[in-house]
Structure 1
């Protein structure tokens, strides 16, 4: 599917369920408190029907001390138990803004040693130089760029999609 913003835009309605993990190859940069806290071309994208992609970055691309483990987990029926981090840069702390799957279910082993983050809790998140728009709602962590088209799950009234 094409749109006027990106010649190879993907519809999130063509993404699979259960989700698929794939390498992105895109240049991902994340800023918090005016500091570049992560920079990589080795991110993974998790693609799931009706959701913008969630990008997972290798843990070793985050600046030292930025990811601070916090108590509590959530559970994904496909990926397993997620552990959370506060993301800290200088005086700024984004509570539970990143998560990881330390022991994912079979089929999602690639996510070990990676973390995803909520782009709306960061100052700026770029994918290939384009500023990411966060997926609506406070549960999902999708990254919206011109590469994807919706409608996207997350807005009021979409929980049961």
Structure 2
């Protein structure tokens, strides 16, 4: 691919979009909507007082009005819930780690309810980098592995299977994880 013909997420110096200017291929948000292309890079944390609900196997895993939303260019938001608003009896730390250039090292959690298991259904940052210290003691859930709701709206998972973004009617994209041709 040559950069002069690319719509463009990457150029020779790395990521091209940082939330300052929405690219031509991005959908224009309507009133009450947000474009993922207006989110910053590096990401920012925003408190969110809407009701966030996590359900698995007909059990409430978490309910919070104290979430922290993480906003990052090209990705739907992720919602981090404090452990104090989670039923930790259903959450078991599991193997595996990953690293985020911004937040640090993540660990993963299974949801286990009455013999049903959603593997690696949540993640957390036990020792986040200082700029993201607000999410220490918080977990975020993959909406593809549990039923997640924002103010009663059922969340759609971010496409691609890797990312954990939460898509609601307020979010417009295209979002990272959709066809690479959208960005290239």
Q: Identify whether the pair has TM-score above 0.5, normalized to the shorter chain.
A: yes
Distance in 2 (CA, whole Å) between partners of 1:35 and 1:158 is 39
Query: How far is the alpha carbon of 1:148 from its aligned partner?
Result: 1.1
C-alpha RMSD of the superposition:
1.6
Residue 62 of structure 1 and its aligned partner are, at CA, apart by 1.3
Q: Does 1:9 align with 2:2?
A: no
The residue number in structure 2 matching 1:127 is 150
SS of the residue corresponding to residue 54 of structure 1 reads: strand
- Alignment correspondent of 1:95: 119
Query: Does the CA contact (< 8 Å) of 1:29 and 1:39 recur in 2?
Result: yes
Aligned residues: 157
The question of 1:141 aligning with 2:168 is answered: no
Check 1:154–1:88 CA distance in 2 against 1; reply closer, same or farther (3 A cut).
Answer: same
CA gap of 1:111–1:159, structure 2 versus 1, over 3 A, is farther
Q: Distance in 1 between matches of 2:183 and 2:125?
A: 25
Runs of 4+ in structure 1 deviating by more than 6 angstroms, as ranges, are 158-161
In 1, distance between residues paired with 2:172 and 2:113?
Answer: 32
Is 1:104 aligned to 2:128, yes or no?
yes
Larger radius of gyration: 2
Note closer, same or farther for the CA distance 1:159–1:110 as it changes in structure 2 (3 Å cut). farther
Aligned to 2:6: none
> Structure 2 regions of 5+ residues with no counterpart?
1-27
Q: Is 1:84 equivalent to 2:108 in the alignment?
A: yes
Residue 33 of structure 1 contacts residue 91 of structure 1 at CA under 8 Å; is this kept in 2?
no
CA apart distance, 1:156? 3.6
1:151 match: 174
Unaligned runs of 5+ in 1: none
Alignment counterpart, residue 32 of structure 1, candidates 56, 62, 72: 56
